[in-house]
Amino acid sequence: ADADKKFGLGRAALPEEVAAWNVDVSPDGTGLPAGSGDVWTGETVFEENCAVCHGSFAEGVDNWPKLAGGDGTLDHEDPLKTVGSYWPYLSTVWDYVHRSMPFGSAQTLSPDEVYAIVAYILYSNDLVDDDFVLSDENFAEFEMPNKDGFIVDDRAETEYTIWSGEPCMENCKESVEITMRATVLDVTPDHGGEDGMAEEAAAAPAETTE
């Protein structure tokens, strides 16, 4: 098909329609609406809208995500990845809260409420003082602790070149010993291991699906 051909389908989007849906915020703050919020206002708004799952101090309740803590744990056996310890950009916090939180009643927060919540999350991570005010004007100045903690996919250099070519077909190993068994853990559904076994299971899965 001719990629440049126009079919005359659809219609022009009205400015109000684009404004209603185009709410993404880039790392440099592009897309932020005017507004501001301070830590103490944020504490109140957070307590009303967020604390039931995320805890009064953003520390998390039960299996709900922890939004604070984990500083310096990324190279540990069980890293705790939170806004403070892991997230590279503050824009993501603002955008995600504004668009998708609270869980179950998303898109109910005003821009000022979101600024306040984000300020409170920063405070809960010991990244700002209690008199901090976050606004569209000072937003871009804020740098997250783990902003340089990410590298672009490097599998082509670190893996693909190594794991290619004609593989071994015969006499590839001296011996084969069992080193791990799933039935020892016994956390598979239908095998009687569903009750309270989550603690013994590896920590990773809970993270995969928050």
Does 106 contact another protein by CB under 8 A?
Answer: yes
Q: Among the candidate windows 43-51, 69-77, 118-126, 134-142, which touches another protein by CB under 8 A?
A: 69-77
CB-based contacts of 65, cutoff 8 Å, min separation 6: 53, 54, 82, 210
8 A C-beta contact, residue 32 and residue 25: yes
Tell the smallest beta-carbon distance from residue 164 to another protein (Å). Answer: 4
92 counts as binding another protein under rule CB under 8 A: yes
**Residue from 18, 34, 47, 138 binding another protein (CB under 8 A):** 18
Interface with another protein by CB under 8 A: which range of 20-28, 33-41, 115-123, 125-133? 20-28
Could you say whether residue 16 binds another protein (CB under 8 A)? Answer: no
Q: Which of residues 71-90 bind another protein (CB under 8 A)?
A: 74-75, 77, 79, 81, 83, 86-89
Q: DSSP character for 55?
A: -
Rounded-to-integer distance, Cα 50 and Cα 172, Å:
55
Q: Is 76 exposed, middle or buried (0-12, 13-18, 19+ CB in 10 A)?
A: exposed
